């Protein structure tokens, strides 16, 4: 099974990704994690990405599309993958679609997306959660101004994906408010 986790920053994608990975044993592909690792290692990719990430802006499409293209060639994604934090723009979603079609036509496994799990959380709750996380984790992109920008960027550039995937018949809406375990249960019942 191949899935996409969609939702605003602070919706709980990372938390739920861990539970999904455990149950379905799929490759967890988080562009945020890959980028943060590159920043830490000060690679060329990391140097390019850092200035965008620190401002809460999106890293350019061609950069993240390149990351995903490379990642989906790796063996562990053949038996199923979960994309967490990608796609984030319509351009990324369209590239993903053609990338997966191409891989399928080359006989490289079943590469279609089965579900887009959309974690829905009201905006005010996101702000509160991200401030809590800023204090707990000290992420450099969790300061007040950057948090606001990340939420704005989500509504401007990423939220159009909700309709995009709804029209493809792939969108699974999950209420992202409430106890973590209840949300996990909702997700399992929809994708399981």
Footprint of ligand AMP on residues 42-61 (CB under 6 A)? 52-53, 56-59
Say which of 21, 55, 108, 133 is annotated catalytic: 133
Would you say 88 or 115 has its CB closer to ligand AMP?
88
Catalytic residue among 71, 88, 111, 129: 88
> What is the DSSP code (8-state) at residue 129?
H
Count of residues engaged in binding ligand AMP, rule: CB under 6 A: 17
Q: Is 172 one of the annotated active-site residues of the chain?
A: no
- Residues 14-43 touching ligand AMP, rule: CB under 6 A, are 31-32, 35
CB of 22 to ligand AMP, least distance (A): 20
- Give me the residue whose beta carbon is nearest to ligand AMP: 32
Residue 133 annotated in active site: yes
Task: CB nearer to ligand AMP: give 29 or 103.
Answer: 29
> In Å, what is the CA distance from 132 to each residue of 127, 147, 179?
9, 11, 16
Residue linked to tokens 């200035």 = 51
Within positions 117 to 176, which residues make up the interface with ligand AMP, using CB under 6 A? Answer: 141, 150
Q: How far is CA 30 from CA 42, 135, 137, 138, 169, in A?
A: 18, 22, 18, 19, 23
Q: Which long-range contacts (CB under 8 A, 24 or more apart) does 142-149 make?
A: 145/56, 146/54, 146/55, 146/56, 147/9, 147/56, 148/56, 149/55, 149/56, 149/57
To the query of whether residue 88 is one of the catalytic residues in this protein, the response is yes
Query: Which residues from 60-99 bind ligand AMP, rule CB under 6 A?
Result: 64, 85-86, 88, 92
Closest distance to ligand AMP from the beta carbon of 116 (Å): 14
* Nearer Cβ to ligand AMP (9/12): 9
Helical residues (DSSP H) of the chain, grouped into ranges: 13-24, 31-41, 44-55, 61-71, 90-105, 123-137, 144-153, 160-167, 180-191
The contact set with ligand AMP (CB under 6 A) reads: 9, 31-32, 35, 52-53, 56-59, 64, 85-86, 88, 92, 141, 150
């Amino acid at each position: 099974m191949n899935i996409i986790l969609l939702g605003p920053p602070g919706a709980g994608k990372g938390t739920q990704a861990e539970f999904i990975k455990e149950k379905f044993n799929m490759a967890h592909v988080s562009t945020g994690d890959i980028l943060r690792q590159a920043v830490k290692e000060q690679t060329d990719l990391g140097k390019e990405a850092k200035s965008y990430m620190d401002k809460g802006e999106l890293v350019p499409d061609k950069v993240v599309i390149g990351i995903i293209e490379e990642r989906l060639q790796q063996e562990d994604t053949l038996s199923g993958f979960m994309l967490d934090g990608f796609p984030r723009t319509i351009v990324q979603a369209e590239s993903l679609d053609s990338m997966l079609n191409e891989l399928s036509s080359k006989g490289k496994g079943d590469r279609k997306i089965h579900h887009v799990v959309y974690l829905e959380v009201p905006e005010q709750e996101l702000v509160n959660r991200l401030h809590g996380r800023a204090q707990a984790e000290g992420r450099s992109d969790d300061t007040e101004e950057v948090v606001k920008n990340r939420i704005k960027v989500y509504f401007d550039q990423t939220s159009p994906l909700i309709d995009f995937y709804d029209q493809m018949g792939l969108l699974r809406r999950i209420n992202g408010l409430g106890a973590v375990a209840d949300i996990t249960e909702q997700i399992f019942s929809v994708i399981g």
